[in-house]
Structure 1
Amino acid sequence: MDRIAIVGLDCRFPGAPDAGAYWNLLMRSGDGISPVPEQRWDAADFHSPTPAEGRANTTEGGFIDDPDAFDNEFFTVSPREAAAMDPQQRLLLQCAWRAVEDAGIAPMQLAGTSTGVYVGIMGNEWAQLHLTDYDRVSAQVGSGNGYCMTANRVSYHLDLKGPSLAVDTACSSSLVAVHMAGNALLSGECDYAIAAGVNVALTPALSIFYTQAGLSAPDGRCKPYSGQADGIGRGEGVGAVVLRRLEDALADKQQVYAVIRGTAVNQDGRSNGITAPNRWSQQEVIGAAYRRAGVEPAQVDFTEGHGTGTVLGDMMEVSALGHHHAGRAGRPMALGSVKGNFGHTEGAAGIAGLIKVALSLHHRTVPASRFAAKENERLDLRGKGLRLLKAPLRLPRGTSVAGLSSFGMGGTNAHAVLESAPPSAARPAAQGDERPRGIGSALFTLTAPTAQALRRNLHAQADALGARRAPVGPVGWTSHRVKSGHRHRFAVSAPDTATLVQRLRAAAADPALFDALTGEAGTAPHTAFLFTGQGSQYPRMTAGLHQDSPLYRHFLDEADAALLPHTGRSVRDLVLSGDESVHLTRWAQPALFAVGYALGRTLQELGVQPCLLLGHSVGEYAAACLAGVFPLDAAARLIAARGALMQQLPDGGGMLAVLAGRDELAERLANEPEVSVAVVNGPRATVLSGDATALGRLAEEFDRDRVPTRMLRVSHAFHSHLMDPMLDDFAEVAREAGGGVPQLPLYSTLYGRLLDGEAMDADYWVAHIRRPVLFADAFTALGEAGPSHTVEVGPSPVLSSLTRKLPLPSAGTRPAATAPVRGPDSGGQDLADTVAELYRHGLDPRWDTLYPAGDQVPYRLGPYAFNDEHRYWTAGPARRPGAPPTAAVAEEPARAAHGGPDAEVLVLERPAPADPVTETALTAIGQVGGYEVGELGPLLRLYEDLGFDSVMVMELKKRLEERLPVLEALTVQDLLPRLATVGDLVEFLREYCAPASDSTQERTA
């Protein structure tokens, strides 16, 4: 048999609400046995210390907490349907979801795949309680019961298209389900398989049966292989594993708990009773599993036995194992059974044992067995090459092998052979793919269907990460892969896990911070890149990002290499060294271009594609390069020539910032021909340029008139007539460099508008030097295009400050501003924060590019925390024999806490039933789905939000017709297109019923 990897798992067992708690229970030899909860049945009514017909000899067993809790809104199940569903279906849905997440997969990614679902199940007590109450059998009760529906529910709600079946071989059901799932994987029938088992004890029936058959332990506890063994104790729980072919799991670098090497299933045939175990069949199924796994008995380090704790069952099992292991007296095989911790979980027993074995191999420790201190001497364990573990067994280094038995009461036996996971295989590199990756800071993301669910899961993730040491890179990388796909998004950056945990807790506790760090998925953000111009440079600009981010380093190196032939010196080295000469025009302009280009390309590589572009003066060169106006080499040559030629101009010029509008300055400038407008940054933000002496005279005038001014620290009078001497030389270079039409919408600060099919050629770039920078006009025009975000691409957010002072666009919404570099101290975290901001508002980044290869390894995050406020349970207690039947599910099911933390899915704008048609529609929807009328807002979608399906639509039509007879002529085909939302249906019914209402009023008049 080829090998099958267990890549994910989840479980709930008595005293263990999740897999971590399960392992802790095993390691401390915990006891999950407790009195029968009042919710199940009144144990006193069915108890007798001595065997008596219709009575059980115990009032104890292994029971899970809160089996009635179900997050129906998460799975879009209406309250009425949830109340009718077997709790085993509900438990499996949540368990399967968490197991898939544990496998490092966002469950939504499996939608539409051939993933198989195999569920072991033995009990059907919910159906016994509900399907015999004929007056209350409904469509929901029908689909809420039945073995097949336990598997089919998982396939339906996760949209899985592979085999989906329930397996009932009594106590061996879930291990047989694993056997079938493995065979389906090996045959190619599916690529993933979810194998599970579930058992919930709703009635005392089996307890009574075990008592009458002489199989029940009076204290409700299984004591496997112990001298105290006196029968079975019932247990319940749910477990699921995600299986995959080992070679596929290793190729995708998935984490593997353990490997299934071989499984076998057989039957007792005709033995000394249909419920009696058959030693010979058991030893044969164990031998068959060994052969298929290719192992010798001596290689098996330990076996998780069936271990019911009955005298006959233990004797037969030990004898079957002894047939294979009797020669190991010097190195006996360890034997135990989890049934000693919380009882016999019947249909879930096999999966309980499988998860125990997988965790033991994963942790390389086998837990001690409860009740091992007083082993049953009549079993002669030592003589059969076996021993009970009285203390945990540390497995030796290397490959460890384990066995697992599960025997059905009707004679179907199963055995599996597992081994420890192999060392992780290296991720195969794509041919020729040597792209740099990493931005120097981890980004953690989380999604949930509602804001309240998101807050709840922030707490859960903080608790899980805070409980163990975790590398922040793999944690962040895994979060994008696993915790994705829901409407509400959270994102935060962190340099280490301790900081991440603090930020998760802070966001969960502070509503304002939570709102700032969350958003909703939808259309991708409409992003505008703003490229900063000259004056924003400073020594060591972006040095922190260069140190943190290999991705940014790559693109800065690329720009530097393109500039070097034209500058004669590395611009990159000049900037990073802290050289003050970066302020000289000959270096400032190519340096700003290099930074702008590198930042822009870094953002693009991360998946942040600009929808709109705008560059302030010299910033327009990097914008044009990213827009495809010219290649990098041509842009580098042009910007280097620009800076060098300007640097050669004589001194004597200056620039003056004036807090006044362009029109206000016209009269003053008429008297100063040596000064002109150089930059228009806003309605009252203008920069003048020209002769320094003339600027000084103007500054004195402005000071007398109390007009604020500021003399800029520049080497030359840019955008003035003093640039004229260098224009001819520059034009020659510009003609050689060329320049085409932007391939992306680019807003020109030369024209103050969008370039409409116009080439940015030599004439454009010459005029660009001489004429004013119309930034305010260009940005106002850009604002009319409706960007959702501006991203300032430069060494500091200068333009973001300017844009806040500009008038709002006609749409009335100012775009959110973000910047990947926010000043001299910026590093990878500011870049991560920019990606986080855009992700929260719909961007789907290229996550792999954010992380170096060493961080792109899976990490098992804490499981999804479901809402446990909604409770659904049977209305009546278990019935005594001969007692009249009781109503199990009311027409309007009671929910203990509907409208709890996740009620925002239901509570939106609530329409007041202002007319009979509206009231009828809302009442009918509420009756069909089990909702209160006040919960039904007009924007709620019947299918996606309220869980309606075709059966519920038929019932809805029937209920509407009962109160509005005019609808009898309406066909389902007429109704279906109008069921998008509650509001759509109400409006349609109003229109449809209006003629009848009008004629009625006329007859009355």
Structure 2
Amino acid sequence: MPQEQATGPDGAGPRAVAVVGLDCAFPGAPDPAAYWRLLNGTAHPAGDPAPSRFRPGHPGAFLADADAFDPGFFGIPTAEAAAMDPQQRLLLQCAWRAVEDSGRSPSELAGSRTGSYVGAMSDDWTRLALADPEGITPRTGTGSGRAMLANRLAYQLDLRGPSLTVDTACSSSLVAVHLACTALLAGECDLALAGGVNLVLGTALDRIYQLAGLAAADGRCRPFAAGAGGIGRGEGVGVVVLRRLADAVRDGDLVHAVVHGSAVGQDGRSNGIMAPHRAAQREVVTAALERAGAAPGQVRYVEAHGTGTALGDLIEVLALDDALGARRGPRTTPLALGSAKAAVGHTEGAAGVAGLIKAVLALHHGTVPAGPVDGPENPQLGLARRGMERVTAPLDLAAEGPGCRVGVSSFGMGGTNAHLVLGPPPRPAGPPRDGGGTAAGVFTVSADTPDSLRENLRAQAAAVRAVPEDDLAALCRTSNRVRSARPYRFAAVAGSAAQVADELLTAAEAPLDPAAGGPRPAVAFVFTGQGAQYPGMTAALYAGSPLYRRHLREASEALLPWLGQPVHRLILDGGDVHRTGLTQPALFAVEYALAATLGGLGVRPVAVLGHSIGEFAAAVCAGALRLPDAARLVAVRGALMERLPEGGGMLAVRASAPQVGELVAGEPRCAVAALNGPGATVLSGELAALERIRGHLEDEGVGCTRLTVSHAFHSPLMEPVLDAFTRAAGTVGAARPRVPFHSTVRGGRLPEGVPLDAAYWREQIPATVRFEEAVGSLCAEAPTHLVEIGPKPVLTRLLRRIPAARRIPALPVCRGADAGPADLAGLAARLHQDGLDLDWDALYAPADRRTVRMTPHLFATRWRSWCRPPDGPAQPSTQPSAQPSTQPSAQPSTQPAAQPEHRQPESAPETGRGAGPAPQAAGAGLDALVGAGVREVVADILDTAPGELDEELRFYDDLGFDSVMLMELKHRLEARFPEVGELSLPEMLSSLVSIGSLAGYLRGLLTPAVV
């Protein structure tokens, strides 16, 4: 990172890098919040290692759940998960949560130029995996080895940027961060995941530290303290998400801290390959400082390497004195020193990122934590005369201002040293305001299993309750954007933080919605007809939804040349929307805007249906009319009808068409205007004729209701407008619907290729609205939801009476006269909960389109896999546990474990791995034995039951086999059917279509041997 003198946000150089996300797990601290509490406390998690790993050796700080993993969440077969180094598993979950913390969904990174940089130095798992040659499988290669740590991240998240695992011993993870920063600034990637991981699975390094005189007797590191007695080993994992600062600021990312400069150097030929080198440490600190464009006096605190060894602490203090202390020049404030190793031990390959995350959190909170402090300062260090001090009480960084800098050091055994210079995050810009208020938000939670959903609902409820109300909508937007939509979902419209929290807790205890985990919703739009209008309709939605506001204005502009006034102002100001010449344009504008708003949220219909005037908005939605053309037709239609003489009316009767057919036939100036459903018929015509019909029907006990209308729509009284309207319609381009259009004129789906031309729109004016028939054809398209597009629910009630639609949820966009953003949010919540993935940003006001940190996802811990000693069963089962186990997974042993062990119920079925003799019978017996054997082998690889496998299942498309799995299949088949000898994989490939075709291939090889 070459030095740059120009400055960017808050004095940052233009080549600065932002830490936009992070996650970690250390002993006693399973997440960043817990890590911060640990750093601010006095406790130290040192103790003896769990006996499930190896015979207890030296005490240290160990993770409690290093054997737990959530393979189902990542779609990883449990057999593959069992072969994975637990460091891979920890890293994968940590990286996922770090990406979420950055305000983006990990799923969105697929195919992106995102780099993965991992520091690690432990190969314990590889040694354990290779200890027993009989247990080696093709998965041993992908599950072991440090190279696979970074590559596992890249593979699982589909990252296309650089991917490398770095091993420089104890400085590995900080070197990885340096390389990630360098790659970002060189343009090799646009986002980078950088971090480290360390698990203590063997005792070899304990022995090395003891023999070298470096091990602390009680397993605790005491950096710079008089009682420092050496290294106390620790475990942990940490990942930071990095972006170029300019990009992060431009896109409104939340920034934890800023990396202003970094450097890596080597001791070279010093006093010994393991001995620290003062000059080399000074040089790397100075180089990082120069690249950061900072003066030594700006550095207020250094998160030191601080192993707690007498020589290591002294050399580090002398080097810092040379680079930043009194030897470099007078300081106005002492240089403060601390080390995360005092809290979590020496986490070796993860030590650099442990210190980095501590420094980042300190800058984020504006305070350097003090604890745990163990005893007085080592007097040999002479900190005071060097212008230095240990942090023994919280240090206020915020008071230092935006120019404050923090250093982070990490030195590797072998001499590779790294140093980073950090600064506080830039001051956030004020949220944009458009004068439109704050829209209602939807808080979403999802998981891959019902149990995981419930656990995450409880975790989020506790966090949401503490959120400031001003941040609630932004938190909802963050939950929509960050949390990848999993099959099991819950969504709550945000009224208040307390209300959302209560709903989350209630949902956690309630039975799961049967729609959860089902197929993706297929939504059909049903557009309301005339009669749904009212003054001020959708005014609250207009005020609270920028998206709806934009589309209503768009429709109003399209109507303006024909109406001479902005229809949206007429609507919102409570004007007379009951005049036919204004009613129809007003309804059209509202329905167009509602449909376009849903489209902006990602709700796109699989089919549309319009009731009378609603067909025009439906036609625009289906792509059969352009907005300007539809606006013209609606305006002309309304104006022509308004000029008709009054004297007509409409009558709703609770009878079927056959019941009223004879009466209507006897009145030539009347007609059946609409067939809305069982017992829901509307008649239209001259008032006097309608009164005669009404009298007959009421005498027969049939209920009738006069409708308040200005004209007799859909009756012969409309004939005078037909020719003029046809001429207007003839000038409008007609197109074929791109979405299935179910016509209430024809009573069914409009045939493909048939345009909505002038003839259709002429026919529509006097024709009976055959709503019930059109709904029947619409429901034949198998929609999962019907959404009514209109200012209030009118058709929703009718849909519930039509047999074809009764089992399909009918949902209005607007629930009544006070319909507003909460109604729209409620519909979005319901559709998302039922499985629809939405474009959430459009729901929110610009002021709420920002990221708010939220509680990270809780991964399931029920499945656990560790190691079993060589004297255990040769082939353990790989079924996941049905209940979390608190028992150690193996008895202590003097030998390292060599094979994976999986905690499972005692009743778990045997999978027949490698068992059973080769077939010894011909004919049907051979067929059955070979088929069963192949299913057992395949089930073994997939970690499932043979009975769940059908012969038609295809290896690639259905079972997800890859090249490693195919090699494992080959070897297992050779062991299962020794009579065939060594199988030729190229020869097998043509038969590797399905389980059945492979069984047929093997039967062909075996038949000569048994006949």
Instruction: Quickly name the TM-score band, shorter chain normalised.
Output: 0.7 to 0.9
Partner residue, 1:371: 373
- Residues 917-928 of structure 1 aligned to structure 2 (within 5 Å): 917-928=930-941
- Matched AA of 1:6: V
Deviation at 1:163, TM superposition (A): 3.0
- Matched AA of 2:794: V
Deviation at 1:242, TM superposition (A): 1.9
Deviation at 1:11, TM superposition (A): 0.8
Distance 1:70 1:721 in 2: 72
Partner residue, 2:997: 988
Tell me the secondary structure at the aligned position of residue 655 of structure 1: strand
CA displacement, residues 87-121 of structure 1 (integer Å, 9 cap, x when unaligned):
22221122122222222232233233343322222
CA contact 1:106–1:485 (8 Å) conserved in 2 = no
CA contact 1:662–1:683 (8 Å) conserved in 2 = no
Distance 1:729 1:435 in 2: 44
TM-score in terms of structure 2 length: 0.86
Deviation at 1:172, TM superposition (A): 1.6
Partner residue, 2:138: 139
Distance 2:798 2:154 in 1: 54
Deviation at 1:223, TM superposition (A): 1.3
Distance 2:942 2:523 in 1: 42
Matched, 1:719 2:714: yes
Distance 1:65 1:790 in 2: 50
CA displacement, residues 233-292 of structure 1 (integer Å, 9 cap, x when unaligned):
111111111222222323332222222222222222333333222222222222222222
- Matched AA of 2:902: A
Matched, 1:347 2:349: yes
CA contact 1:821–1:831 (8 Å) conserved in 2 = yes
Return the match for 2:661 from 661, 666, 673: 666
CA displacement, residues 322-353 of structure 1 (integer Å, 9 cap, x when unaligned):
12311446411111111111211111111100
- Matched AA of 2:656: G
Deviation at 1:683, TM superposition (A): 4.9
Deviation at 1:565, TM superposition (A): 5.3
Distance 1:32 1:949 in 2: 42
Partner residue, 1:483: 483
Tell me the secondary structure at the aligned position of residue 165 of structure 1: strand
Partner residue, 1:503: 503
1:485/1:628 Cα in 2 relative to 1: closer, same or farther (>3 Å)?
A: closer
Distance 2:871 2:21 in 1: 36
Distance 1:897 1:3 in 2: 52
Partner residue, 1:695: 690
- Matched AA of 1:338: A
Matched, 1:531 2:535: no
CA displacement, residues 446-481 of structure 1 (integer Å, 9 cap, x when unaligned):
444444444433333333433544723322333333
1:240/1:262 Cα in 2 relative to 1: closer, same or farther (>3 Å)?
A: same
- Matched AA of 2:862: E
Deviation at 1:398, TM superposition (A): 1.8
1:416/1:721 Cα in 2 relative to 1: closer, same or farther (>3 Å)?
A: closer
- Identity level (%): 49
CA contact 2:529–2:610 (8 Å) conserved in 1 = yes
1:291/1:571 Cα in 2 relative to 1: closer, same or farther (>3 Å)?
A: closer
CA displacement, residues 205-239 of structure 1 (integer Å, 9 cap, x when unaligned):
33333333322222221111112222221111111
CA contact 1:719–1:769 (8 Å) conserved in 2 = yes
CA displacement, residues 386-429 of structure 1 (integer Å, 9 cap, x when unaligned):
011221111123232011111222222222211122234799x9
Deviation at 1:855, TM superposition (A): 1.9
Partner residue, 2:259: 260
Deviation at 1:302, TM superposition (A): 0.3
- Matched AA of 1:857: R
Distance 1:318 1:469 in 2: 44
Return the match for 1:854 from 817, 823, 847: 847
Please say which of residues 98-107 and 937-946 is displaced more in the overlay: 937-946
Matched, 1:122 2:144: no
The answer for unaligned runs of 5 or more in structure 1 is: 47-58, 901-912
Matched, 1:67 2:77: no
1:961/1:452 Cα in 2 relative to 1: closer, same or farther (>3 Å)?
A: same
Matched, 1:423 2:436: no
1:450/1:301 Cα in 2 relative to 1: closer, same or farther (>3 Å)?
A: same
CA contact 2:673–2:714 (8 Å) conserved in 1 = yes
Tell me the secondary structure at the aligned position of residue 239 of structure 1: strand
Partner residue, 1:392: 394
- Matched AA of 1:552: Y
Please say which of residues 761-770 and 298-307 is displaced more in the overlay: 761-770
Partner residue, 2:826: 833
Partner residue, 1:231: 230
- Residues 40-79 of structure 1 aligned to structure 2 (within 5 Å): 40-43=53-56, 46=57, 60-79=59-78
1:627/1:885 Cα in 2 relative to 1: closer, same or farther (>3 Å)?
A: closer
Matched, 1:107 2:106: yes
1:974/1:541 Cα in 2 relative to 1: closer, same or farther (>3 Å)?
A: farther
CA contact 2:485–2:837 (8 Å) conserved in 1 = no
Return the match for 1:866 from 851, 855, 859: 859
CA contact 1:329–1:383 (8 Å) conserved in 2 = no
Distance 2:64 2:204 in 1: 20
Matched, 1:16 2:15: no
1:276/1:560 Cα in 2 relative to 1: closer, same or farther (>3 Å)?
A: closer
Partner residue, 2:675: 680
Distance 1:642 1:568 in 2: 15
1:296/1:969 Cα in 2 relative to 1: closer, same or farther (>3 Å)?
A: closer
CA displacement, residues 888-938 of structure 1 (integer Å, 9 cap, x when unaligned):
216xx43246999xxxxxxxxxxxx99534432332123334445467688
Partner residue, 1:248: 247
Distance 1:816 1:42 in 2: 60
Please say which of residues 191-200 and 561-570 is displaced more in the overlay: 561-570
Return the match for 2:903 from 895, 903, 913: 895
- Matched AA of 1:129: L
Distance 2:744 2:450 in 1: 42
Tell me the secondary structure at the aligned position of residue 688 of structure 2: helix
Distance 1:248 1:997 in 2: 63
CA contact 1:869–1:897 (8 Å) conserved in 2 = no
1:552/1:67 Cα in 2 relative to 1: closer, same or farther (>3 Å)?
A: same
The answer for unaligned runs of 5 or more in structure 2 is: 2-14, 873-892, 909-925
Partner residue, 2:48: 35
Please say which of residues 83-92 and 552-561 is displaced more in the overlay: 552-561
1:192/1:638 Cα in 2 relative to 1: closer, same or farther (>3 Å)?
A: closer
CA contact 2:930–2:1003 (8 Å) conserved in 1 = no
Distance 2:804 2:984 in 1: 50
1:832/1:968 Cα in 2 relative to 1: closer, same or farther (>3 Å)?
A: farther
TM-score in terms of structure 1 length: 0.87
CA contact 2:223–2:341 (8 Å) conserved in 1 = yes
1:943/1:990 Cα in 2 relative to 1: closer, same or farther (>3 Å)?
A: closer
Please say which of residues 229-238 and 723-732 is displaced more in the overlay: 723-732
CA contact 1:81–1:141 (8 Å) conserved in 2 = no
- Residues 512-531 of structure 1 aligned to structure 2 (within 5 Å): 512=512, 514-515=513-514, 518-520=516-518, 522=520, 525-531=521-527
Partner residue, 1:444: 443
Return the match for 1:542 from 535, 538, 541: 538
Partner residue, 1:380: 382
CA contact 1:612–1:782 (8 Å) conserved in 2 = yes
CA contact 2:974–2:983 (8 Å) conserved in 1 = no
Please say which of residues 232-241 and 148-157 is displaced more in the overlay: 148-157
Distance 1:439 1:295 in 2: 42
CA contact 1:438–1:852 (8 Å) conserved in 2 = yes
Please say which of residues 711-720 and 992-1001 is displaced more in the overlay: 992-1001
Distance 2:55 2:1009 in 1: 58
Matched, 1:290 2:286: no
Deviation at 1:533, TM superposition (A): 0.8
Q: How many residues align?
A: 955
Distance 1:835 1:138 in 2: 48
Distance 2:680 2:588 in 1: 25
CA displacement, residues 650-707 of structure 1 (integer Å, 9 cap, x when unaligned):
4443322223322332233343444321212235432122233333333333233333
Deviation at 1:141, TM superposition (A): 3.1
1:773/1:133 Cα in 2 relative to 1: closer, same or farther (>3 Å)?
A: closer
Tell me the secondary structure at the aligned position of residue 408 of structure 2: strand
Partner residue, 1:54: none
Partner residue, 1:52: none
Deviation at 1:23, TM superposition (A): 1.1
